[in-house]
A and B are shown apart, each in its own frame.
Chain A
């Protein structure tokens, strides 16, 4: 019996993984070969997807990117033009430091046995042994910061919730991964859902919360289905329920589907949405840790924050804090996207430069043209020109150049990009997705689009650039949440680093 590993990750499906799987079945039938197809998550090397691995003499040998037409030849012989050998020996993988994504792409995502056989569950068992207070201390000491973008210390949130007496507390996972250029949450939920489930359960044990919710965006139907199935499996196996793994502690979990609103990735808007309301941002205070979901103390963290904690509990705070740079400790899954040759997920300790990722890992622009701008941190992140690509990827290091790391998305643009158009889009996106609660975001974004249009048209250019900068300042300082508050980042970075894109057309001053 030859085992063949083929991803069921949704990007791999989008690239034809199902058709490739069917081709292998058909080829095996014709050849009379006994095969077992195991559907895995993706390893994150999307430039090689559909990436198929075949077990030969106890080793997994990779082939990719495959088309259905390749199946017959790959099955017949190990030698094939698309043969990659041991996938983990490829430089692109060898240099990675995979803590969160250690199992992703290797195991059957819905096999709890596979999960445990590959080291899953040890963190939760340790948390149960040492109890809530000691668990919170380890997460605090590890230096783990929120991976959703804000970088707030996870341990402080947990300690706050743990310290409050309440009849009900909640653990809420923000899986509303709406930033363009990011897909780590999706890939993890599709490829290793149990690690998120384990991390949330650890949070429950640590804080005394007995109910968890995962809010998954509706653009991720595969992730939602996989995670829901994982919850069912975990419940049957006693990982969830009134007595988690015989600990005497209760924890239940429910997956909820978002409905296409970017703003619901903002934590208070997400809470409103979970409560069944319009996703309007709440004013803080009160902090969600004190009065969160249904008015109860709630831990809210990103998928990657929760999924980091099993490793931390298993290996200890010091081992985790040994990774990283400055005050950015541990590992960060960077996501290479846009116009890039080798796009995918690269998990590394904090500290690489943007250039290392886009050039060494990414291989530059897929179009073969020179690279001109790199947007880091999603639609609210800054656009960087070449001379800033040596910036180190850490929370403080990015802030020092008026950017942010966000959720770790890195989008590459070649020299055909028009940064004035990108600045306009940033404002337009904010206008489309604004919840409407605060004026700087609701009105400012529309005025921003109009002002960029005037600048590009050459209408009183200098005065309108000054006005746009002034508007950005108002949005930065006066918005209720990060949507209006950070939309100025891409706009100002475009103005600062690519001013020539705003003055391509002649000025129309005289016409005024």
Chain B
């Protein structure tokens, strides 16, 4: 994930590379996310014009999907699973612990680590699970979360 420096020229190049693919919208949005870490406001007219759809439709697609951010993440992103399997294994205790011990409030969109709720990462046989900037973690405990956050702080 690269989150620095919006560049219209680079965005255009990414869009142009895919504009002729069938159903190119999601692949383009993923490419922009991958390069910039978010979808800049200025990308919207570029995408709309390349795919011959309205700006409203483009915004509609972006806002429909949880993955597409409109602003850059402030720090590392910790996606913590709060679906049934992880509930059964105590994920809500971990969410409380993050808030009480570390002051990290899930889905508040600020803090030195952004904690986001997700529903299922597919590690359900080793719940509770999370993903830190794409790195999978499972069988989480308060202690392993503490260690992981200490690692980030270093």
Contacts and interface: CB of A to CB of B under 8 A. Distances in A.
Nearest to A343: B125
A44 B29 CA distance: 34
Contacts, number: 154
26 contacts: A14-B129, A14-B138, A46-B125, A180-B84, A218-B67, A219-B131, A221-B134, A222-B136, A223-B122, A259-B29, A259-B30, A259-B67, A259-B68, A260-B65, A260-B118, A278-B60, A278-B61, A278-B64, A279-B65, A338-B127, A339-B88, A343-B125, A375-B84, A379-B84, A411-B84, A425-B84
Interface string A276-316: 11110000000000000010000000000000000000000
Contacts of A256: 23, 26-27
A162 interface: no
Contacts of B24: 276
B66 interface: yes
Interface in B9-62: 22-27, 29-30, 51, 57, 60-61
B49 to A, nearest CB: 15
B76 to A, nearest CB: 16
A335 B124 contact: yes
Contacts of A366: 89
Given A11-B138, A338-B85, A182 B122 contact: yes
A64 B72 CA distance: 41
Given A257-B30, A261-B66, A338-B127, A181 B118 contact: no
Nearest to B88: A338
Contacts of A259: 26, 29-30, 65-68
B83 interface: yes
A198 interface: no
A260 B118 CA distance: 8
B122 A275 contact: no
Contacts of A294: 22-23
B56 to A, nearest CB: 11
Nearest to B124: A337
A14 B87 contact: no
A322 B45 CA distance: 58
A279 B127 CA distance: 28
Contact of A257 (B27, B57, B86, B88): B27
A344 B85 CA distance: 12
Contacts of A276: 23-26, 51, 61
B25 A337 contact: no
A93 interface: no
Given A259-B67, A260-B67, A411 B136 contact: no
A273 interface: yes
Interface of A: 10-11, 13-15, 44, 46-47, 49, 177-183, 186, 218-223, 256-262, 273-279, 294, 335-340, 343-345, 366, 375, 379, 409, 411-414, 417, 422, 425, 429, 432-433
**Which residue, of B25, B66, B120, B121, has the highest number of chain A Cβ atoms within 10 A?**
B120
Given A276-B25, A337-B124, A14 B84 contact: no
Query: What are the 6 closest A-B residue pairs judged by CB atoms, nearest first?
Result: A276-B25, A343-B125, A180-B83, A338-B88, A260-B66, A337-B124
A179 B120 contact: yes
B64 A261 contact: yes
Contacts of A379: 83-84, 119
A417 B27 CA distance: 40
B88 A413 contact: yes
Nearest to A429: B119
A425 B136 contact: no
B88 A183 contact: no
B104 interface: no
**Which residue, of A180, A181, A262, has the highest number of chain B Cβ atoms within 10 A?**
A180
Contact of A220 (B51, B65, B81, B122): B122
B34 to A, nearest CB: 10
Contacts of A44: 125
B32 to A, nearest CB: 12
Nearest to B116: A260
Interface string B108-140: 000000000011111111110101001111110
A379 B87 CA distance: 12
A219 B120 contact: yes
B65 A261 contact: yes
B131 to A, nearest CB: 8
Contacts of A412: 88
A181 B29 contact: no
